[in-house]
Each structure stands twice: as structure tokens, then as C-alpha cells.
A and B are shown apart, each in its own frame.
Chain A
Amino acid sequence: AQSVAQPEDQVNVAEGNPLTVKCTYSVSGNPYLFWYVQYPNRGLQFLLKYITGDNLVKGSYGFEAEFNKSQTSFHLKKPSALVSDSALYFCAVRDVGLGDDKIIFGKGTRLHILP
């Protein structure tokens, strides 16, 4: 069965510093990987996805993520954090090998950007 792990419940970063939010996954086939962000009492908003091709994926609001097949990771990164980046971030995966559209999420990582 597919699974997603976000090993950090919370990440604290000073404004202007680079940030990384970690995600690892397990699938039987090839993965489709996604990052979403959630602001308080709201639904989730799409940030970026990896389907195939270049391992470095660029997304919304200056975020990017690097797909690493050997480490089964898809870490979210941003070169310079903003206070407005403070939110809850979710990694998600679809296992292409299953042949259906089941998409599961990690537990989320709360990102605090300190002014």
C-alpha cells in the first residue's frame, strides 16, 4: 500500500532564511507527488506536483521541490522564507502502479516563519 511520511510536525525558520519541509513516500509503482498548503479553517491549495521529467519542480509562491527516486523523497524548499509562508503543509502521493486515483496525504508539517 502507498504511504507518505512527513517526519517533522513543526519547522521553525527565521524570515529570509531558506526553508525545507521533508516528505518521504512508499509506492509499488511510479509516484505522482504533490504539495499543498492550508491556511486556518480553509481547504487546501495546490503548490506543485511531480509527474515525470525534471526532478526539480517549481511551483507557486516561489516554492520548489526535488524528486529523489533513490531516497524516495520529495522535499519542499524555498530559498528565502516570508512570514506569510507560515501555514500547514501537506505532501500527497498517488501510486500509479495501483491503476486507480487513490491519493493519500501525510500528517502535515506546520511551518512557522519567525520575523
Chain B
Amino acid sequence: DGGITQSPKYLFRKEGQNVTLSCEQNLNHDAMYWYRQDPGQGLRLIYYSQIVNDFQKGDIAEGYSVSREKKESFPLTVTSAQKNPTAFYLCASSIVSEKLFFGSGTQLSVL
């Protein structure tokens, strides 16, 4: 089946720890995105990538890092600098200028 897969579904972070959220797509899409969802704040763009080995900061990139070494993969690292990481994280991909396909999300919580 073609689609976009996020893992894990639930993730817990300890104080001072970096954690990495996985996002893989087999849709052959060039563009990939990471959004953070908090209640009442909608989806806020963290990072996006239009092509392999290139990515741009979104509106709330501080405390996060990404890589795009392969077309199908766009992992997001939540670093210890992100002081309020508890949120639902959504990954998406698209053909340029077309609709986004979303993964099922990762819920990150702080222990």
C-alpha cells in the first residue's frame, strides 16, 4: 500500500533528552512537512523540505532539527532545547503544489 508512515505512535521524553520521530513515505513525493498540533492552536509548521538534502524552517523551528538524506524519509528530532515538547506531531508529503498526504501522527509526552 502507498502511504506515509509515522512511528512511534506514542513517545515519552525525559528531561534533557533528544528524541527522534520517524516519517517515511513511499509515494515518491518530493515535498515533506512536519507540523505540531496543540489544542486550540491548530497546526503549526516546524520544517519543510522540497527536495533531498534541502529543508527550510517553518514558523516554530526552534528546538527542533531535521534531515532529508533520502527522498522517502524526513525524521524530526526534538532536542532538549525545546522546553514544551508535549504535542501531537504530524508528518505530511505532497507532489509540489498538490494536496498533502498525512501520516497518523505521533503523540509526544514528557515524563
Contact = CB atoms under 8 A, between A and B. Distances in A.
A, B co-complexed: yes
A51 B96 CA distance: 12
**Interface majority SS (helix, strand, loop, mixed), chain B:** strand
Given A51-B97, A94-B97, A102 B102 contact: no
Interface stretch (A14-22, A36-44, A68-76, A77-85): A36-44
Contacts of A43: 90, 92, 102-105
Interface of A: 6, 9, 32, 34, 36, 41-46, 49, 51, 90, 92, 94, 100-108
Given A42-B105, A43-B104, A101-B94, A108 B50 contact: no
Contact of A44 (B40, B45, B100): B100
Interface string B29-73: 001010100001111110010100000101100000000000000
A46 B100 contact: yes
Contacts of A49: 99
Given A43-B103, A44-B102, A90 B94 contact: no
A108 B48 contact: no
Closest 7 CB pairs of A and B: A43-B102, A107-B42, A105-B43, A46-B99, A44-B102, A108-B42, A101-B31
Given A90-B42, A90-B43, A107-B42, A101 B50 contact: yes
Contacts of A6: 42
A9 B41 CA distance: 10
A15 B40 CA distance: 25
